[in-house]
Structure 1
Amino acid sequence: MSRTSVPAASSAASVPHSADPSLPGAWEDLVTTALLGTDRRTPAGAAPGADAPKTLLDAAAVATVRRRAGLRPARAAERPRPAPRDPRPALPPAAARRLAMLLADRPGTSGGGRRGTAPDLMELLPQWLAAANAHGFAAPAPVLPALLDAARGRTDLRPAALRFAGPRALWLARLNPDWRFALRSAQGRGISLPGTVNPGDSGGPEGSGGSDAPENAESPLRLWQEGLFAERVALLAALRSRRPAAARELLATTWATERAEDRLMFLDSLRTRLSPDDEPFLELALADRSRTVRATAAELLSALPGSAFAERMAVRAGVCVAVDHTRDTPTLTVEAPHECDADMERDGVTAKAPAGRGERSWWLGQLVEAASLGTWSRRLGGRSPRQIVALPVADDWRSELHAAWCRAAVRQRDAEWSRALLGEPAAVEAGGPGAVSLAERAKLLGALDATERAEWVAGFIGTHGLPDAFQLLGVCAVPWAPPLGRAVVDALDIARDAGSYPWSFSGVMGLAERCLDPSEAGHLDALLAVPDEPEDASPGSGGYWSEAFQRLVTTLRLRAAMLAELTPAPPGRS
């Protein structure tokens, strides 16, 4: 009887496997062989060598056909409900084309410092959305995916983008997990709490037509009690912006059982539409077992100048600061606290000072920044804020005292104290007598109205130039008022003529592209030519300045065209 010789296998892994693709596990066997490679695992029914890969692919093709042929028809899925109708007027065709162009733009990938003369379209999208929302237009359906993608990548775009996208954005977000942020942002609509009246009772959530509410909007209390942390934060923030009292009541239902880090986050939501009605709840939070929660509650209470907390802190701070009339010139004297007692800690004063900071000055700063600013005039001889700030301060306490007053003015949004601490913009000391940093000056400006803010920054630029003005420009209303716009352009022109290092002004130039009034474009033509470079100028600076001004003019004209496209045509004219 003859015997068939079988080649010896080099390893157990090379033993041939079943060639029948219908056997159980055959498909998994083929996948394993493909992952390992035919050199390490011989396909079933094939000899090692060059034909092994072909045999494996043939077997996979047969198995694929067999698997498909054996599939049973699945039950048809329920068809999605149609997207809700958006009742807002349609976007003008020219504006729709412009939006598609803005959404298709991508930031440049070049690492060079020169941007050329082309506008940065993505940086114009926020202004376009603001103008479209102001006119009440509906987003065209074809651009909604790109709009949601843009909002997903830039959180600063989300509020305006979702408002413009309307109810259809929520409909799409339920079909694509990448856009779930839209659903989280929409939490809080259709809310009804015990003892409150839901403004959408008669027709669904506000502005939704009754069809774009979150899936569990009918039970916000259940969402608050059982939802994910991000959903609860979004729910509380949305409700707080619409109905502050209802948000506070919702928070109170679970406050005692929340984790300390969650209490801190939830308490922070009360900054929105903070009012004296929140005082009782915040007073309870002052007794919280978490130091950070107590500190946040104290900060919020100090933003209510008429609160009992602010008055308590004013009494403590008033003991520390007095006017000494025995000197040739009335002088403020400071006697910082010698201890941080239990009552002070209960009111949110942090006892342990940061590294490098003296304890007494640390306690003093906390008392002064939390005290009601309105009490200082009464305690210091009826002087106005400007007169108080102008007083000399003994024993080197001036910077500490003024810095605390700055924080108080920002927190309480007190315009009179902010003016006093800012001082005159043309003063030799950049920023005035009380400001301790550019960031602090920018915050103080936030307490002034838009016109006064622009005039102050224009005066500051006229005296001190642009190097220290970038943060100040960021708090000014857009478009910049004419005096501010002219001050910025004049300062840029002076820097160009002086041959200054061009890259130092790229940030201000970028702000000008977005914030200058588009009507200023016609006044900039004289700046487009390449200037003569002084001997000590940076090499190539003239060409850069010319490109930068050309880009500025082009961007301003593009913004003017955008606004014109969004302006509805007069009746009777197409």
Structure 2
Amino acid sequence: MSTIAPPPHWEELVTAALLGTDRRPAPGAETAPALLDAAAVHTVRRRAGLTPAAAGELPAPAPRDGRARLPGPARRRLALLLADRAAPAQSGGRRGSTPDLTELLPQWLAAANGHRYRAPEDLLPALLDAARARTDLRPQALEFAGARGLWLARLNPEWKYALRGTSGGAVLPDLEDAEAVRALWEEGLFAERVRLLGAVRAADPAAALTLLTGTWATERAEDRLMFLDSLRTGLSAGDEEFLEQALADRSRNVRAVAAELLSALPASAFAARMADRATSCVSPDRTGTLGGIVVEAPHECDAAMQRDGVVAKPPAGRGERSWWLGQLVESAPLSAWPPRLNGRTPQEITALPVSDGWGEELHAAWCRAAIRQGDATWARALLGAPSVPPEAGTGTASLAERAKLLTTLPDAERADWVAGFVSAHGLSEAFQLLGVCVVPWSQALGRAVVDALDIARDAGSYPWSFSGVMGLAERCLDPGEADRLEILTTTPAEAEGASPGAGGYWSEAFQRLVGTLRLRAAMMRELSGEAEAP
């Protein structure tokens, strides 16, 4: 009785295909057609012979989300925003006249979260995909997605970003349950502990400090640094003793943060020590020749200064004495300077001449102190009048530092100052300053920006030279300004000496601005329920 030869192994067929049947024929498949036939048969046999895998465990049901449902028009708007794909950029930097829907999504999410709406279940995958592609969307998108979004994220590795820093999607214990809070603090993962400490600090600063002090000695240096940073929320005199102990920490970074936090407590013993050091270096001119401020920077950085967080070694290109002086002045309470300088006000102090070229260093340190201490009076003095050019002002020419100083002012005052700056100096240096103003911009600020854009248009320049400011205007102008801006959408006559075609490009830019403002207004109506279909 004849026997049927066993079919060749798959590996033999692969080897024969790679080397050629003439060099390495497979048993029973010595020719190319026979090899292909054998491979086809083997493929069918392998597929048909697979053993079914064991059924996996079904996921737990998605948690309930008790927030309100989106109004119908708002839900449809969200679907459009998530489905939109930005059109390819036009040649020459042109963006066209159509609003960019992707730039509206962050504002839509912020407004929806403000209304406490829950995300539609069928749009959760698209929402998580959008946040995966854009890190700037993640905080608002994950808040909107809620517990169901985190539940879904655990089922798809591409959405694992949603679980980072969120306790893996776990819900924090009731903060009133001291035992559960203590258990999570002592046994939880690092991300869980960071989140827990932040939540407790926001609710009860003293309780958070108690948690932290209980385990401080056993924490790793990098963890201590992160935990210490949480004390910025609710910082008070009650934290002083702990922060003083942290000044002796073995980690330089921890010591630096502790010193920075203590300097934000003007009544602390640390602030008094720094005031003594700083005022010994800065004094009124008593000779009568200068009539201003005399500076004698430190000649050494002793052990006591280093213990209080003063870094002895300056960065490359920086002199030691100016480096030490800056650290002392920025850490001293600003209240120390009027008594030291003959009772003068901050405005009078910042206007005084400073000896031997120390003015820039001294004023820059005062700026940092005003930002750290949130002192609006000193911020006003250092900012000066918005009409004064930055390089001629009393404080710092750095626009980044000026933007930080502005954050210490009330919202309305901040907007008025920036409006005055834009009116006086135009938009070329205003981008960072505009970024710290609350949205929507005040009427005065919005009109100053639009007027400056109109002036730039009349000057014949191209609009993409101001694309950053135009993008801010689309996101930050009051939507109620759309009708007033309609006149700017027309194409002006081309002035002599203007860049070719600039008028048409500006018309497109203003059409996009007006269209975006109207879309934002429609979005707000939809989210408020005003646009609900009957």
Q: TM-score, normalised by structure 1?
A: 0.85
Q: How many angstroms does 1:198 deviate by?
A: 2.7
Q: Decide which of 160, 166, 185 is 1:186's aligned counterpart.
A: 166
Q: Distance in 1 between matches of 2:392 and 2:152?
A: 49
C-alpha distance in 2 between matches for 1:384 and 1:518: 41
Q: CA deviation at 1:133?
A: 1.4
Query: Against the structure 1 CA distance between its residues 129 and 43, is the aligned structure 2 distance closer, same or farther, given a 3 Å change threshold?
Result: farther
- Distance change >3 Å, CA 61–CA 354, structure 1 → 2: same
Q: Secondary structure at the match of 1:537?
A: coil
2:35 corresponds to 1:56: no
| 1:8 corresponding residue in structure 2 | none
Cα pair distance change 1:307/1:151, threshold 3 Å: farther
Higher relative contact order by CA 8 Å / sep ≥ 6: 1 or 2? 2
Counterpart mapping for 1:217-366 below 5 A: 219-224=183-188, 227=189, 229-230=190-191, 232-327=193-288, 330-366=291-327
How well do the aligned residues superpose, as a CA RMSD in angstroms?
2.7
Deviates more, 1:79-88 or 1:36-45: 36-45
Does residue 1:106 correspond to 2:85, yes or no? Answer: yes
SS of the residue aligned with 1:524?
Answer: helix
Deviation at 1:163, TM superposition (A): 1.9
- Secondary structure, counterpart of 2:387 in structure 1: coil
Q: Distance in 2 between matches of 1:422 and 1:359?
A: 27
What residue in structure 2 maps to residue 136 of structure 1?
Answer: 116
CA 1:501–1:77: 2 relative to 1, 3 Å: closer
- Is the counterpart of residue 197 in structure 1 residue 176 in structure 2? yes
Aligned residue for 1:523, secondary structure, equals: helix
Following superposition, the deviation at residue 278 of structure 1 comes to 2.3
The answer to whether residue 531 in structure 2 is matched with residue 567 in structure 1 is no
Map 1:429-440 → 2, pairs under 5 A: 429=390, 432-440=393-401
Structure 1: where are the runs of 5+ without partners?
Answer: 1-17, 202-216
Deviation of 1:362 after TM superposition, in Å, equals 0.6
Distance in 2 of aligned mates of 1:248 and 1:177: 36
- Measure the CA separation in 2 of the matches of 1:117 and 1:63: 58
| Per-residue deviation, residues 95-142 of structure 1 (Å, max 9, x unmatched) | 000001111123444374111111111111111111111212121111
Q: Distance in 2 between matches of 1:420 and 1:530?
A: 44
Q: In 2, Cα distance between the equivalents of 1:82 and 1:393?
A: 70
Aligned equivalent of 1:505: 466
Secondary structure in 2 matching 1:166: helix
Q: Deviation of residue 243 (structure 1)? A: 4.3
Instruction: Give distance in 2, aligned partners of 1:553 and 1:316.
Output: 56
1:322 is paired with a residue of what secondary structure?
strand
CA distance in 1, matches of 2:30, 2:250: 75
Kindly state the Cα deviation for residue 285 of structure 1 after the two structures are TM-superposed. 1.4
SS at the partner of 2:293?
strand
Distance in 2 between the 1:437 and 1:386 partners?
19
Q: Distance in 1 between matches of 2:17 and 2:495?
A: 68
**Is the contact between residue 190 and residue 198 of structure 1 (CA under 8 Å) also seen in structure 2?**
no
Shift in Å, 1:388? 1.0
Q: Which amino acid aligns with 2:95?
A: R
1:149 equivalent among 108, 115, 129: 129
Are residues 557 and 78 of structure 1, via their aligned partners in 2, closer, same or farther at CA, if it must alter by over 3 Å?
A: same
Q: What CA distance in whole angstroms lies between the structure 2 residues aligned with 1:317 and 1:515?
A: 42
Q: 1:501 to 1:118 in 2, by over 3 A?
A: closer
Give % identity: 62
Q: Which letter does structure 2 place at the counterpart of 1:551?
A: R
Q: Does 1:397 align with 2:358?
A: yes
1:46 aligns with 2:29: yes
Partner AA of 1:127 in structure 2: Q
Which of 345, 350, 357 lines up with 1:384 in the alignment?
Answer: 345
Q: CA shift at 1:438, angstroms?
A: 0.6
* 3-state SS of 2:32 partner: coil
Cα offsets for 1:146-167 (capped at 9, x unmatched): 1122222333322222222222
Point out the structure with the larger helix share: 2
Q: Using the TM superposition, give the Cα deviation of residue 35 of structure 1 relative to its aligned residue in structure 2, in angstroms.
A: 9.2
Question: What's the offset of the Cα at 1:454?
Answer: 0.3
Are 1:86 and 2:58 an aligned pair? no
Deviations 1:317-345 (CA, angstroms, capped at 9, x unpaired): 01111111432663111111111010000
TM-score normalised to the size of structure 2? 0.91
Deviation at 1:355, TM superposition (A): 1.6
Q: Match of 1:156, as an amino acid?
A: D
| 1:116 and 2:131 are equivalent in the alignment | no
For 1:331-373, what per-residue CA distance to the aligned partner results, in whole angstroms no more than 9, with x for missing partners? 1111111110100000000111112111111100000001111
The answer to whether the 8 Å contact 1:189/1:239 transfers is: no
1:165 is aligned to 145
- In structure 2, what is the equivalent of residue 369 of structure 1? 330
> Are the aligned partners of 1:43 and 1:55 in contact in 2 as well (CA < 8 Å)?
no
Bigger CA drift: 33-42 or 513-522? 33-42
Equivalent residue for 2:157, pick from 155, 170, 177: 177
Superposed CA deviations along residues 244-265 of structure 1, whole A, max 9, x for unmatched, are: 4444444434433444334333
**Conserved? CA contact 2:460–2:502, under 8 Å:** yes
Question: How many positions carry a matched residue from both structures?
Answer: 526
Match of 2:408 in 1: 447
In structure 2, stretches of 5+ residues that fail to align are: none
SS in 2 for 1:330: coil
Give yes or no for contact 1:38–1:52 (8 Å, CA) kept in 2.
no
Q: Which amino acid aligns with 1:168?
A: R
Q: Alpha-carbon deviations, 1:519-551, whole Å to 9, x = none?
A: 000011111112223332222211211110010
* CA distance 1:73–1:335, change in 2 (3 Å): closer
Deviates more, 1:472-481 or 1:100-109: 100-109
Q: What is residue 208 of structure 1 aligned with on the other side?
A: none
Write the letter of the residue equivalent to 1:170. Answer: L
**Structure 1 Cα separation of the partners of residues 394 and 101 of structure 2:** 41
